[in-house]
Amino acid sequence: MIKSFYKNNSLTLGILGGGQLAKMLALSAYRLGLNVAIIDKEAGTPAGDMTKLEFTKGWENSSELDKFIEVSDIVTLENEFIAPEILEYIAQKRQVFPSAKTMRLIQDKFIQKSVFAENNIELPDFNAIASIEDMLAFGKKYSYPFIVKTRTLGYDGYGNFTVYSESDCKTAFDKFQKPDVKRDLMAERFIDFQAELAVMVARNKQGEIAVYPCVESIQKNHICHKVIAPARISKELANKAKEIAVKCVKVIDGVGVFGVELFLTKDNRILINEIAPRPHNSGHYTIEACYTSQYENAIRAILGLPLGSTDMLLNGACMINILGEKEGSSIPVDITKSLENGKTSLHLYNKKQSRVGRKIGHVTAVANSVEEAIENANDMVKKIVW
Ligand SMILES: Nc1ncnc2c1ncn2[C@@H]1O[C@H](COP(=O)(O)OP(=O)(O)OP(=O)(O)O)[C@@H](O)[C@H]1O
Ligand SMILES: [Mg+2]
Ligand 1 atom with the shortest distance to the CA of 281: 26
Encode pLDDT of 245-301 as tens digits.
999 999 999 999 999 999 999 999 999 999 999 999 999 999 999 999 999 999 999
Nearest bound ligand to the CA of residue 158: 1
pLDDT range class, residue 2, cuts 50, 70, 90: very low
In our burial notation (b when 16+ CB lie closer than 10 A, e otherwise), range 130-141 reads: eebebbeebbee
CA of 115 to the centre of ligand 1 (A): 18
Report CA(83)–ligand 2 centroid distance (Å). Answer: 19
Distance from C-alpha of 48 to C-alpha of 18, rounded to nearest angstrom: 6
Judged by its nearest atom, the ligand closest to the C-alpha of residue 126 is 1
The residue out of 96, 114, 145 marking a domain boundary is: 96
Atom of ligand 1 nearest to the CA of 192: 4
Question: What gap in Å lies between CA 161 and CA 139, rounded to an integer?
Answer: 14
Q: Is pLDDT at 105 greater than 60 in this prediction?
A: yes
CB atoms within 10 A of CB 294: 29
Task: Pick the ligand that lies closest to the CA of residue 265.
Answer: 1
DSSP state at residue 312: B
Q: CB–CB of 108/184 below 8 Å? A: yes
Q: Position 30: which residue type?
A: Y
With 90 as the cut, is the pLDDT of residue 344 above it?
A: yes
Note the pTM of the prediction, 2 decimals: 0.96
What is the average pLDDT value for the chain, to the nearest integer? 96
Q: How far, in Å, is the centroid of ligand 1 from the Cα of 149? A: 9
Q: Which amino acid is at 181?
A: V
Q: How far away, in angstroms, is 184 Cα from ligand 2 center?
A: 18
Residues 226 and 174 in one domain: no
**Whether residue 329 is found in the same domain as residue 346:** yes
Query: Which CATH number belongs to the domain containing residue 291 in this structure?
Result: 3.30.470.20
Nearest CA to ligand 1 atom 19: 157
Same-domain check for residues 34 and 144: no
pLDDT tens track for 168-210: 999 999 999 887 788 899 999 999 999 999 999 999 999 999 9
Q: Is residue 376 assigned to a domain? A: yes
Please indicate, yes or no, whether residues 246 and 165 belong to a single structural domain of this protein: no
The distance of Cα 366 from the centroid of its chain, to the nearest Å, equals: 21
Counting from 1 in the atom list of ligand 1, the atom nearest the Cα of 276 is 26
- pLDDT of amino acid 3: 57
Beta strand pairing status for 160-163 and 146-150? antiparallel
Average pLDDT, integer, range 119-142: 97
Checking if the pLDDT of 8 tops 80, the result is no
Percent of the chain, pLDDT > 70?
Answer: 99
The domain containing residue 62 runs over which residues? 12-96
Atom of ligand 1 nearest to the CA of 189: 1
End-to-end C-alpha distance for the chain, whole angstroms? 52
- Within this chain, do residues 37 and 74 fall inside the same structural domain, yes or no? yes
The total of structural domains in the chain comes to 3
Indicate the residue among 161, 189, 217 that finishes a domain: 189
Q: Which ligand is nearest to the CA of 217?
A: 1
3-state secondary structure of 310: coil
Say whether both 81 and 204 belong to one domain.
no
User: Is residue 119 included in any domain, yes or no?
Assistant: no
133-142 own/partner pairs: CB under 8 Å, 24+ apart: 134/187, 135/163, 135/169, 135/172, 135/173, 135/187, 136/166, 136/169, 138/187, 139/163, 139/165, 139/166, 139/169, 142/189
Mean pLDDT, residues 132-157 taken together: 94
Residue to mutate (ligand 1; options 110, 215, 273; most atoms within 8 A of CB): 273
Cβ partners under 8 Å of residue 281, min gap 6? 217, 224, 227, 259, 321, 359
Using CB distances shorter than 6 Å, the residues near ligand 1 are 124, 147, 149, 154-160, 188-191, 196, 219, 222, 261, 273-274
Residues 59/39, Cβ–Cβ less than 8 Å: yes
Is a pLDDT exceeding 50 seen at residue 303? yes
Query: Which domain CATH number covers 141?
Result: 3.30.1490.20
Q: What amino acid is encoded at 294 in this protein?
A: Q
Q: 344 and 220, same structural domain? A: yes
As a whole number of angstroms, the distance between CA 352 and CA 375 comes to 30
pLDDT at 1: 42
> Could you give the CA distance from residue 103 to residue 105 in angstroms, rounded to a whole number?
5
Q: According to the model, what pLDDT value does residue 359 have?
A: 96
Structure confidence at residue 307 (pLDDT)? 98
User: Could you tell me the distance, in angstroms and rounded to a whole number, from the CA of residue 222 to the centre of ligand 1?
Assistant: 6
Give the integer Cα–Cα distance in Å for 274 and 256: 16
pLDDT in tens, 77-89: 999 999 999 999 9
- Looking at residue 323, the DSSP 8-state letter turns out to be E
Q: Are residues 36 and 169 in the same domain?
A: no
Q: What is the DSSP letter of 231?
A: -
DSSP states along 146-194? EEEEESSS--TTTTEEEE-SHHHHHHHHHHHB-SS-B--EEEEEPP--S
Please name the residue whose Cα sits nearest to atom 13 of ligand 1. 222
3-state secondary structure of 49: helix
Is the pLDDT at 127 greater than 80? The verdict is: yes
Residue 65 sits in a domain whose CATH number is 3.40.50.20
> Three-state DSSP class for 342?
coil
